[in-house]
Structure 1
Amino acid sequence: MPDNDIAVPEPGVSFVMPVLNERAYLEHAIQSVLAQELPVAAELVLALGPSTDGTTELARRLAADDDRIQLVDNPAAHIPVGLNAAIRASRFATIVRVDAHSELSPGYAARALETLDRTGAANVGGVMRADGRTPFQKAVARLYNSPVGLGGGAYHGGTHEGEAESAYLGVMRREVLDAVGLFDETIRRGEDWELNLRIRQAGHLVWFDPSLSVTYWPRESWVRLARQFRATGAWRGELVRRFGRRNGIRFFAPPALVILVAVAVVVGVLQLSGVLSGALSAILSAIAYLPLLAYVLLVVAVAALPGGGGIRQRLWTLLVMPTMHLSWGLGFLGGVLRGARDTVDASRLGTRNTPLP
């Protein structure tokens, strides 16, 4: 809820970044923030979770070297809790959310301020441009940037500027954030979508500007990717429980795929056991197997298309694409049926990443 004792923010930009086990990416992310050229004062507030890979020590060293960096604690390690702590500790009128696993493009913040002024929007976001270092990470990044990977949301490759449902990261007016009550700390994933829903319900505009670009580095291993997508799917299921049809139809495609796989397995078992035969077996086979065959052909086509990289990246694509969809779908069904409860994204816990070059 809004805090009536919040001081009037000063003109300027406060970048806020939740951080947990990001030693391999943190310095590059911070450099991309501090390199932003702005006509107003700026600061960077890091919300430090209980990292185990040396991230906290690195953050303290960087803060000691630059007085624009502030540190706040986020012992719960939850993203919305950390974001709120950083926002409350900030002092400027514009809030720019930054991910420690991302890098802002040159001119990002200045362009976003111009778009805020031009459109009168309360929140402005741009394009997430995923990138990778290894064949695995490159395969994941390619699917992030493709409509068949993450469902075609505007910030995964949209080219037309305009009003949006949500915003990737987001450049936000502090007065609007204070009015709607900051991030909902009971939501562990999808907190940005829910915040933007409240912003729009309050009569404000959320805006997509494709000229704004952020480089995002996906998870580095198959296990971490599966954990991330399962957690994200579970919280989307929770959001469906809470907000129903306000969720876009694209969110229901992965759980439909999971259900289809389950139906195909049941049909196959019944056929092998002799319970199903004849015309009924043929009808159920067409219902269960043909859509799955079409999906398999789609996965193969995506891996084989130009731009798919070398052979290792293409082979990873064959595994990564169904992993993303099925993990997300399984998480979604669990979230819808029983709620997300205490589901967290465990893909950042105890991580040991290879430093960026």
Structure 2
Amino acid sequence: MHDDLPATRDAAVPSPGVSFVMPVLNERDYLENAVATVLSQEVAEPLELILALGPSRDGTTALAERIAARDPRVRLVANPAADIPVGLNLAIRAAQYETIVRVDAHSELDPGYTRQALATLRRVGAANVGGVMRADGRTAFQRAVARAYNSRIGLGGGAYHGGAEEGPAESAYLGVMRRRVLEDVGMFDESIRRGEDWELNLRIRAAGYRVWFDPKLAVTYWPRESWARLVRQFIATGTWRGELVRRFGRRNSLRFFAPPALVVLVAVAAVVAVLHAVGALAGAAGILAWTLYAPLVAYAAIVLFVAVASGGSLRERIWLAAVVPSMHLAWGLGFIGGLTRGAKHTVDTSRLDRNTPLP
């Protein structure tokens, strides 16, 4: 099936009712706001929110229990494995309704998000609809990360990061999905701990259904709160992308190879710099070696230009200049490891401990 042609398999209009599914682990600082934006969705259909609770250590579970006690629309399921795809599948299986809305404890929905998504699902006959990840921050560091997320130089390529025209898409951020399609393609692959949404949408499209991007849909996303957590997150994400390239080869976009290419270029340039310093390169070979530095200088200039032009405080601009290469290099290092050794049991350790206060 070509995505620019009518879908060969049109997902039937779901029965009334919307089930929101949210995997949760150590999200005490974000959970209450995330839940509130779900329960305030402007939809005529009945709704429920199912929280798949991992073994949190920061009081998240007790908070979730208080929230569920206040509102019968909130239900809890245990996710002792803590893995996101496992939690999503547990929540979907516990759901009552035919429309599944994936939400994240680090995200907040606009009041009309679900209403718009349901209208788009019906209008285009899609199986999954997603919109724009609109990153935001509470601290100077987090706001700098948000600017990197929202910029094409940071996470460019995916429609849901930089925005694009409405139309068929490779994947969908979070996603508003038809349950029967999920069951038809086998739900989330629980062997994939990061990038599970991309892999699910690959199977949805392979089965003949349509994945759709609607820029009118926007979700506020709160990035990691410290440099160390951000780096750990991106190493894990890159590692799993390397694993997905091992599994699915050329079905991965070429844009995924840019960060590892940067890592290789930096490593080679470092070796050449050492050789220059000790006088091992001379003559034509030495002059030719200098050309390796040109793309790195251009990259640094672009990053600095984006940081200076981004607005915000001086502190935010300095953080942005540090955050962008940190994201790229961490992701690229993870990718090389995942591609060469496989992801194996790699997890996103940035989610495992939130006991420290925000910086």
Q: TM-score range by the shorter chain?
A: over 0.9
Total equivalences in the alignment:
345
The alignment partner of 2:16 has SS state of strand
1:295 partnered with 2:289:
no
- Correspondences of 1:286-325 after superposition (within 5 Å): 286=291, 288-305=292-309, 307-325=310-328
Within 2, Cα distance between the matches of 1:271 and 1:342? 40
1:7-41, Cα deviation, whole Å (9 max, x unpaired): xx963100000000000000000000000021211
Q: Give me the CA root mean square deviation.
A: 1.1
Aligned to 1:182: 187
Distance 1:176 1:22 in 2: 30
Deviation of 1:268 after TM superposition, in Å, equals 1.1
The correspondence of residues 7-22 of structure 1 with structure 2, limited to 5 A, is 11-22=16-27
Q: Which runs of 5+ in 1 are unaligned?
A: 1-8
Corresponding position of 2:40: 35
AA matched with 1:243 = F
Kindly provide the CA deviation profile for residues 100-128 of structure 1, in whole angstroms up to 9, marking residues without a partner as x: 00001111001100000000000000000
Q: Which residue of 1 aligns with 2:235?
A: 230
CA contact under 8 A between 1:166 and 1:193: conserved in structure 2? yes
Instruction: Tell me which amino acid in the other structure corresponds to 2:338.
Output: G
- Secondary structure of 2:98's match? strand
| Deviation per residue, 1:307-338 (Å, 9 max, x gap) | 33111001101110110000000000001011
> Any gaps of 5 or more consecutive residues in structure 2?
1-13
2:323 alignment partner AA? V
Change (3 A) 1:23 1:353: farther
Where do residues 105-116 of structure 1 align in structure 2 (5 Å cutoff)? 105-116=110-121
Q: Provide the secondary structure at the position in 1 that maps to 2:192.
A: coil
Report the Cα distance in structure 1 between the residues aligned to 2:164 and 2:289, rounded to whole angstroms: 41
Query: Is residue 33–residue 104 contact of structure 1 (8 Å, CA) maintained in 2?
Result: yes
- Structure-1-length-normalised TM-score: 0.95
Say whether 1:278 aligns with 2:295: no
Conserved in 1, the CA contact under 8 Å of 2:156 and 2:162? no
Residue number among 298, 314, 330 corresponding to 1:327 in the alignment: 330
Secondary structure of the corresponding residue to residue 24 of structure 1: coil
Distance 2:119 2:345 in 1: 39
The alignment partner of 2:170 has SS state of coil
Q: Which residue of 2 aligns with 1:341?
A: 344
Cα offset for 1:157?
2.8
Rounded to whole Å, the distance in 2 between the matches of 1:35 and 1:159 is 27
Report the Cα distance in structure 2 between the residues aligned to 1:51 and 1:72, rounded to whole angstroms: 13
